[in-house]
Chain A
């Protein structure tokens, strides 16, 4: 089954404790991205990757890091989480950055930073 898998689904952590949210897709997609979704602000893109070793900032990259060492994986790293990073996070992938094809989204990771 074609899918984007995020882990964990739920996470409560303390301020300053480094964490990684994993994202994996099994569709051989080139383009992957991370979003956060907050009430009243909608989905905002954090980072995106057009292919292996190629990443770029979205609209809200501060406080986040990403890497794309393999085509299928695109982890989101919070090196020193703060309470304002409490949010619902989504990973998404699409076939190619060249064609505006549909994005497939993961089920989301609800992160709480206390």
Chain B
């Protein structure tokens, strides 16, 4: 069964304290892996798409990487405005549906 698991469920960081969020997935094949950010009361906002193992993408303090079994979202020197829930989603091969993980709630303290 296709599955996406995110860890940790919640993470508290001091401002400037770098860390990584994990997204592990079990699918028969991968069409794409997506990272989204969700603020309270709002819809998710797109961050990155990764397609193949070894791929990396960066945006400001965020960097996403992909292996054959998992993806990491690295947050370098986070700021309080990075506080949000970060969601990972995959689209398995042979299908056009999306499977989301339950997210990591990140809180960055000033």
Contact = CB atoms under 8 A, between A and B. Distances in A.
Interface of A: 4, 31, 33, 35, 40-45, 48, 50, 56, 58-59, 90, 92, 97, 100-108
Given A44-B100, A50-B96, A100 B43 contact: no
Interface of B: 31-32, 34, 36, 41-46, 49, 51, 87, 89, 91, 96-103
**DSSP class of A's interface residues: helix, strand, loop or mixed?**
strand
A48 B96 contact: yes
Nearest 8 CB-CB pairings of A with B: A105-B43, A100-B32, A102-B46, A42-B102, A43-B100, A97-B96, A42-B100, A105-B44
A103 B46 contact: yes
Given A100-B49, A100-B91, A59 B99 contact: yes
Q: Which of A42, A101, A104, A107 counts the most chain B CB atoms within 10 A?
A: A42
